[in-house]
Amino acid sequence: MNHKNMLNLVDHTALGAVTEWSDIEQLCSEAIQYNTASVCIPPSYVKRVSEKYGNKLAVCTVIGFPLGYSTKETKIFEAVEAVKNGATEIDMVINLGDVKNKDFCLVTEEIKSIKEAVGSNILKVIVETCYLSEEEKIRLCECVTEAGADFIKTSTGFGTSGAQLADIELFKKHTGKNVRIKAAGGIRTKEQFEAFAAAGVHRIGASAAVKLYNHDNL
């Protein structure tokens, strides 16, 4: 895969605790210039970005982020508001308490409710793999598939570790054919980007991609 195609996989991301408007403007400018898959930004900036950049880029935002333990109803409200403000892609964090309580039916129900709320817009489900056993990861693949989400996503980037290639292989084995895979968290080198692309992910969430694959390399 060449450098240009690599950037086409990237959700160009700025989700730091302190993210200023100037950071968002730079992110969007880079996303347009290098044709990244989307920009992934804090919910508070979605409306402003949508109004300024219109249909020049896809706007992704996060809900229940980064810990996932807000109520289902709160997440639904966040998702609906984000879509109303112009987001076309939603990255939601599951409730890990439900996972550890083995209440997988609640996990499925929450994902399904949010997917219904966002309709044809893309829903990515962050499962935060660093906190999961292999059995839990497999069960969550089943939850995401049954609920009709568009993507399963490895990590928030705020956990104890990020994306792992072994988890991508596990997802490929246990998700349904309509579920795509997003790797995120700790992907910062060309070698990592290219390894995840080769593993067959459909998106990579990262803030470093444009710096690595800049205009001079295209």
The one catalytic residue among 115, 124, 137, 182: 182
Distance, CA of 67 to CA of 65 (rounded, Å) = 5
Q: Is the pLDDT of residue 218 over 50?
A: no
Residue 214 confidence (pLDDT):
76
Residue 169 confidence (pLDDT):
98
Both structure tokens of 17: 């605790």
Query: What is the percent of the chain where pLDDT is above 90?
Result: 95
The one catalytic residue among 11, 91, 98, 150: 91
Average predicted confidence (pLDDT) for the chain: 96
- Note if 153 is an active site residue: yes
Each domain of the chain, given as residue ranges in start order, spans 3-217
Q: 121-142: per-residue pLDDT in tens?
A: 999 999 999 999 999 999 999 9
Across 168-189, average pLDDT: 97
Q: CATH: 3.40.720.10, 3.20.20.70, 3.30.1300.10, 3.90.1150.10. Which one for 3-217?
A: 3.20.20.70
DSSP 12-79: EE---SS--HHHHHHHHHHHHHHT-SEEEE-GGGHHHHHHHHGGGS-EEEEESTTT--S-HHHHHHHH
> How far are the Cα atoms of 74, 137, 140, 203 from residue 198, in angstroms, in the given order?
37, 21, 23, 12
The one catalytic residue among 115, 124, 137, 153: 153
